[in-house]
Every structure is written in structure tokens, then in C-alpha cells.
């Protein structure tokens, strides 16, 4: 990250937290400390001050981007002679396991909903598009869960295509973190949102382009704006282990939990298990698939060792 920031040819403009906070320019604060506590994820101690410094300027930026993009779409429709409904604005949020993607997504969703126009802002995670555990087991992919090959990519692309086309009542599958699997027969319905936030590990992932020039759609092709949440590898490991240990004392104790067996082992065994899962699954996924997509983001939020966003990198237009 430091090398990216120092590179004179970097496509990003780099802001300290104080510099970025100055860009709020009177944007009103619409969240309370109670809202922040409700929205933040386990082991992600985002503060009201951080919301003011980081998310308020980001909300202002997004309001300008959404307005400009809607104007561009209107111009295109006039050129084509179309009178179809406006196109939803799609925001992608990527980053490692335990980096705080869910917290960022929920805070942004709540703040954007409280714009004066009260837009319909929907949040969807890519977890629902994971292949069912039965399929992953049959294909030997349970230890690759979260890797690009573990997702039903055609279904995810079809979902985004329908959303971007302005279709009504688009369905998305439901994932249960309790049972660690897609819930059979359950779905949520997305009905023409003004803004869609898609959060997931590999949403900025690409693949090798075919030599014949044929179109290969990527999830990010449907994004109007993308955010990558970044942190040092050692900090990510520590946050993952800390979260695992907290879950061991809470959600894992539920008899329905897929991970219930981890609530019964000793603390030392649990720490070793968490580190093993990180080394065997999450770290390879980070290095092979997630981190390489960082330079594709429009905005990079860089976290310090205390889980606080200290640097913001905005892609130059």
C-alpha cells in the first residue's frame, strides 16, 4: 500500500483521515451512537467519530456520483429514444475476511437511506450465491469455500443483470451463517432499488480474457462504484482469530450452529484451530484472489492495527 501511495504514477489520490474528514463540508450527521453500535459487526469497534470522519465525506461523494450517473443515463436514454425506468446505482464492497466489509456496507446503507430524497437502498451479500455445501462436498471444494470457484457465478451475474436492467421483483438466495449453508427454498426479493450495495470477498475478481475477444462478464462490470477495505496481513489474522474466539463463546454455542463443536474445545485448541483455518483457507484466498483485486477499486479504505480507517485512496477521474 505504501508503494502504491508513493508511486508518482498511481491512479489514486491519497488522503489522511484528517484531510478526508475536511471534505464532509457540512454534510449532516444522520446516525447516532446507538445506530453505530447496532450496525457494527462483532469485533469491529467502529466509532461515531470514524463515521463522521470517513463515512460522511463518502456519503457526500456518493451523492454527487449518483446524481452525475443518473444524468448520464438520462442522456443515453434520450439519445436512444428510450423511456424505460432509471437504472439502479450499484456499489461493490470487497476485502478480506474479518476486515469489516459488513460494517461498512450496513453503515453506508443506513446513511444513504437517510439522504433527503430517501432512496431505496438495498444490501445484498454474495454469501447467498455460494454453492450449497452438498455441492461443495461432492466437488471437493469445502476447503475452498469463499474462493471464486465456490460461487454460482452464472446466478450472480444473472441477478446483477436483472437489477441493472431495472427489472422488478428480482430474487436472491439466502445464506445462513448459523448453519454455514445456503437455505434451501428461501430467497429475498429486490424490487427496483435506487441503490444496490453488493458486499463480498471476490466481487472485484476477474479472469483471463479470451484471445478471440469474446465478451466475458465480470461481477464488477455491473458496478458504478467500488470500495476495497484494506489492512495489513498480520492485523487481519489477529482480527480473524479474535472474532473466532468471541463466536466460540456466543453463536457457536447454539446447538444448530455448524461450528458448535468448536465451543466445546479448550481455549488453546480454539486458537490453534482459528490460526489453522486462517493459514489453510483465508490467507491463500487473500493472497491468490482478494488482494490482487485491490487496484481495481475506485476507493480504498486503509485500516490501522486498531481497526480504524486512517487513510483513504480515491481513484482519479
CA dihedral 305, 311, 315, 316 (to 10 degrees): -160
Burial class (CB in 10 A: 0-12, 13-18, 19+), 14: middle
For residue 209, what pLDDT is reported?
Answer: 62
Residue 9, pLDDT score? 77
Q: Assess whether pLDDT exceeds 70 at residue 6.
A: no
Tell me the pLDDT tens digit for each residue of 262-314.
999 999 999 999 999 999 999 999 999 999 999 999 999 999 999 999 999 99
- Residues 6+ positions from 157 with CB-CB distance below 8 Å: 217, 219
Entry pTM: 0.94
The architecture (CATH level 2) of 2-207+214-312 comes to 3-Layer(aba) Sandwich (3.40)
Give residue limits of the domains in the chain.
2-207+214-312
pLDDT at residue 277 in the model: 97
Q: Give the residue from 146, 150, 147, 151 showing the smallest Cα distance to 129.
A: 151
**What is the pLDDT averaged over residues 103-123?**
95
pLDDT reported for residue 86? 72
Q: Which tens digit of pLDDT belongs to each residue from 117-135?
A: 999 999 999 999 999 999 9
Burial status of residue 58 (CB atoms within 10 A of its CB: 0-12, 13-18, 19 or more): buried
Amino acid at each position: 500500500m505504501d508503494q502504491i501511495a508513493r508511486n508518482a504514477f498511481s491512479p489514486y489520490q491519497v488522503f489522511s483521515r484528517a484531510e478526508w474528514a475536511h471534505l464532509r463540508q457540512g454534510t449532516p450527521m444522520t446516525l447516532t451512537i446507538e445506530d453505530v453500535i447496532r450496525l457494527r459487526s462483532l469485533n469491529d469497534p467502529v466509532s461515531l467519530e470514524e463515521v463522521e470522519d470517513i463515512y460522511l465525506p463518502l456519503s457526500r461523494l456518493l451523492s454527487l456520483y449518483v446524481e452525475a450517473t443518473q444524468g448520464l443515463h438520462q442522456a443515453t436514454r434520450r439519445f436512444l429514444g428510450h423511456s424505460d425506468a432509471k437504472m439502479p446505482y450499484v456499489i461493490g464492497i470487497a476485502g478480506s475476511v474479518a476486515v469489516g466489509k459488513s460494517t461498512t456496507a450496513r453503515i453506508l446503507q443506513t446513511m444513504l437511506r437517510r439522504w433527503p430524497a430517501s432512496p431505496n437502498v438495498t444490501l445484498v451479500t454474495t454469501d447467498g450465491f455460494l454453492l450449497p455445501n452438498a455441492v461443495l462436498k461432492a466437488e471437493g471444494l469445502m476447503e475452498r469455500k469463499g474462493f471464486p470457484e465456490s460461487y454460482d457465478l452464472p446466478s450472480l451475474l444473472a441477478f446483477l443483470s436483472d437489477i441493472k436492467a431495472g427489472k422488478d421483483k428480482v430474487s436472491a438466495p439466502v445464506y445462513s451463517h448459523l448453519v454455514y449453508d445456503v437455505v434451501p427454498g428461501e430467497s429475498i426479493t429486490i424490487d427496483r432499488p435506487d441503490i444496490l450495495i453488493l458486499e463480498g470477498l471476490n466481487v472485484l475478481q476477474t479472469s483471463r480474457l479470451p484471445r478471440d475477444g469474446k465478451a466475458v462478464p465480470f461481477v464488477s462490470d455491473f458496478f458504478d462504484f467500488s470500495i476495497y477495505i484494506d489492512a495489513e496481513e498480520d492485523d487481519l489474522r489477529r482480527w480473524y482469530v479474535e472474532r473466532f474466539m468471541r463466536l466460540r463463546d456466543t453463536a457457536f454455542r447454539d446447538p444448530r450452529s455448524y461450528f458448535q463443536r468448536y465451543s466445546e474445545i479448550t481455549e488453546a485448541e480454539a486458537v490453534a484451530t482459528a490460526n489453522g483455518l486462517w493459514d489453510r483457507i483465508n490467507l491463500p484466498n487473500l493472497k491468490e484472489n482478494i488482494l490482487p483485486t485491490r487496484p481495481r477499486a475506485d476507493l480504498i479504505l486503509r485500516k490501522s492495527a486498531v481497526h480504524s480507517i486512517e487513510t483513504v485512496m480515491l481513484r482519479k477521474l
